Structure 1
Amino acid sequence: MKANNFTKGFLAIATLSTLLAFTSCSSDSSDSNFTSTEVVATQQADFTVKIKAVDKAGKDITTYGEGNDVTLYIFDEKYDFIASQNITKAAVMNGQKIQIHAQNANRITVVAWAGLSNNKEEVSSLTKANILSDLRVQLKQNNGQVTTPPSDLFYGQLTLDRTQTKADQVNTLVVERKVAQFTLATLNVTEAYGTTGDYYYKITSASSAIDYNGNVTGSVVSYIVPTSVNENGNLAKEQISIFPSDDVTVELYRNDQLILSSKNFQKTEKMAVNEGEQAVVYFNAANANKITYHVANFGTVVNIVNVA
């Protein structure tokens, strides 16, 4: 009889211990779940953008693949640098949604540069100590002479406010071409100077950099464009990209001697070319008073006739 009572007492204690242990585990589990839920609830969603490339007329050229890869420079509400983010050309062309990670910022400013090349441009090296106005794209140059022309650059800027952005909202970051293009040629060269000689063009421009807002700035620089005589006795057509400028001079040199200059022509003494435009300059070596100068949107086919 005592043995049975002892057994019953032992079983009761064991059962109670098991229940207490189970209750303790359940309590721990509940606390763990609550903590996890709390973390998820305070997690801020990423900003989401799509990149759209347009030409000077506003036409969507995203699927053309112009501008190549894109680099995003991200700044917080105080314009302090957060991080940079690289986006592939394929992602842009396919209209891929891009997640921008800025967990501690309620508002961000995103500057996009497409087409940057380490071989052609110098871009500000940014750290956490830098601010938005420190961002700058500079031409590589040596004593005022550009060593390599710029790439086909596109630029865009967008400010996003978390309080005004829905969780599933995709914002469009528009990028536009920031370079201009010159097409150069000279007619009747052998008629005027014979079949020998070394030729090059010199383009002098008033801008050498583009700032964080996409505005041209900097100092006067020169681009050297080598050229040669073709089978028709003209100088071969040459094309070069430059930073936009409201004061451009084009000169032609033979054996390092200046022979033709746009400054010699009253109507074209001060040439200007804007971003997304191409300027066509044709000299006529047989008639120093003749120059053809035409400005059109980038990519427009311009036919120049031989003016005697």
Structure 2
Amino acid sequence: MRYIGKSFVGLIVTLLIVSFVIFLVMEAVPGDPAEIILGMSAQPDTLAALRSQLGLDQPFITRYLHWLFGLLQGDLGNSYTYSTSVAQLIGERLQVTLPLTGLAVFLSVLIALPLGVTAAAKPNGIVDIIASIFSQIGISVPNFWIGLLLILGIALTSGWFPAGGFPGWDAGMWAALKALILPAIALAIPQAAVLTRVTRAAVIEIANEDFIRTARAKGATLNYALWYHVMPNALIPIVTMLGMQISVLIAGAILVENVFNLPGMGTLAYQALAQRDFIVIQNVVLFFASIVMIINFIVDALYTVLDPRLRIRR
């Protein structure tokens, strides 16, 4: 518990540092939100009045502290472009991004674990060769290109899934999921390729340990030894990679959501950047950074559950 407490304190300190860096970077980005809103032909006094209304005329540290204290109170500010609460915008877009990311993680694990374990069971066999080809193709092809291929090869030819757009959860669970299946596959394939390779390597390494030979000598079948003896001991590198992949999936959603025209967090970040809506950008980036650090914190805490030796050592 002491180790987890220290990690949590480190998480809070890191979030504070990241928030300051994000605000500093936004300050250096060229472009004036007031000019974006009013246009280049706006009068100087009108621009000055709008800048004062938005608080852009205040010193840097004052604006940062105002934003930080607002975050602590749950107030993320109002969007310059949409004239609405940033918290409301993020909440609406999360209804798309979170299910998309969760479905992509599920598909990635569903593909990678059986394929990686089966490939490791018989190295250089047919399944191992298939897994190697799949890993090489999945790693080398970007997810947005896979999304375009899925649109051309499945959505436009078969009509089973929509080529883009999101009907909303009010249209029904199946209609909403159909709109997310192809984007989730586009996100999952590159991550499943990496996870397959990591799973295969981890299983082969553990399978050569003495206790696995002992279990096999006592009559344990190959499948039983792999799933009940090897996999529990190979979970640490797999969980580590899975935690890193969730971070990559969240970042990759920016491109994939734009390819499939999904109203998620990625589309919101892209539109806010194009419109120089700095308050939205900095909150979205901080949200992504927070998710990444929280996932890393959870993965680090899981190490002590998966490996009792680490718990005793810590």
How does the TM-score come out when normalised to structure 1? 0.21
Tell me: higher relative CO, structure 1 or 2? Use CA pairs within 8 A at least 6 residues apart: 2
Task: With the length of structure 2 as denominator, give the TM-score of the two structures.
Answer: 0.21
Higher strand share: 1
